[in-house]
Amino acid sequence: MTGPHGWGYGQDDGPSEWYKSYPVAQGNRQSPIDIVSAKAVYDPGLKPLNISYESCTSLNISNNGHSVMVEFEDADDKTAISGGPFENPFRLKQFHFHWGTKPSQGSEHTVDGKPFPSELHLVHWNARKYATFGEAAAAPDGLAVIGVFLEVRIAKIKIKLSFFFQGTKAQFRSFNPKCLLPLSLDYWTYPGSLTTPPLNESVTWIVLKESVKISEKQLEKFRTLLFTSEEDQRIQMVNNFRPPQPLRGRVVRASFKA
């Protein structure tokens, strides 16, 4: 069964099939990757990451058929990241999650071969250089995504999920995603791509080293969501992650000394 997007995470439309419609899936800077910590190169020139999410402008939360997504108003640079490997500030557009059926899988990036139960992606775009998110998403330096690993522990993250079906959306105002970040902003960075079709190679990835705790109960809530809309047979939304892609000569840089 193919989802409304023509792609999904099932047997017939999952990551191993995406290249048929999106040939860039076999490109040289695809994401996610396995981060081999011993091979990451410490780069003292990398600036600390500056995250200003204070005047937060969240709009809505939705089940878009392949994840839970929270969208933000992105008319100005108030909710943005800067520093790190970037020349310009990048504006927050949305964040979403990837997760598995069980705690031993779910994240897209892995560290030394180890997956985490879930991964949060905060998607930002280069509004100084590009006029629209769409234009930025097609450019090699257009997007910046922060990846945060979620580990199952007694948690501080609580997100209310009450929209089970694909296509459902609810207002979700004044949510500050800062509460989803770990204390340490030590990061790895590398040039990569979107991890869902169209898989554009437009992303500078910032993967935070420190994970954030999420409760098993919260993770179970994610698993109650559905890939399908109300009229369709229910298909549980789980394992919505792409496996690690070949590095193809890319170097992962670290903002910290190992």
The catalytic residue positions are 66
pTM: 0.93
pLDDT exceeds cutoff 70 at 156: no
pLDDT exceeds cutoff 70 at 154: no
Cis peptide before 198 (omega within 30 of 0): yes
Q: Which fold has domain 15-254?
A: Carbonic Anhydrase II (3.10.200)
pLDDT level of residue 122 (50, 70, 90 thresholds): very high
Question: Nearest-CA neighbor of 97 among 189, 186, 212?
Answer: 212
For the chain, give the secondary structure using H, E and C: CCCCCCCCCCCCCCHHHHHHCCHHHHCCCCCCCEECHHHCEECCCCCCEEEECCCCCEEEEEECCCCEEEEECCCCCCCEEEECCCCCCEEEEEEEEEECCCCCCCCCCEECCECCCEEEEEEEECCCCCCCHHHHHCCCCCEEEEEEEEEECCCCCCCCCCCCCCCCEEECCCCCHHHHCCCCCCEEEEEECCCCCCCCCCEEEEEECCCEEECHHHHHHHHCCECCCCCCCCCECCCCCCCCCCCCCCCCEECCCC
113, two tokens: 């071969």
pLDDT level of residue 251 (50, 70, 90 thresholds): very high
pLDDT exceeds cutoff 90 at 14: yes
- Taking only the tens place, the pLDDT of each residue in 194-220 is 999 999 999 999 999 999 998 888 888
pLDDT exceeds cutoff 70 at 118: yes
Q: What is the percentage of the chain residues whose pLDDT exceeds 90?
A: 66
Query: Hey, where are the domains in the chain?
Result: 15-254
Please list the residues that pair with 146 across neighbouring strands: 122, 206
What local confidence, expressed as pLDDT, does residue 2 receive? 47
Q: How far apart are CA 121 and CA 72, in angstroms?
A: 14
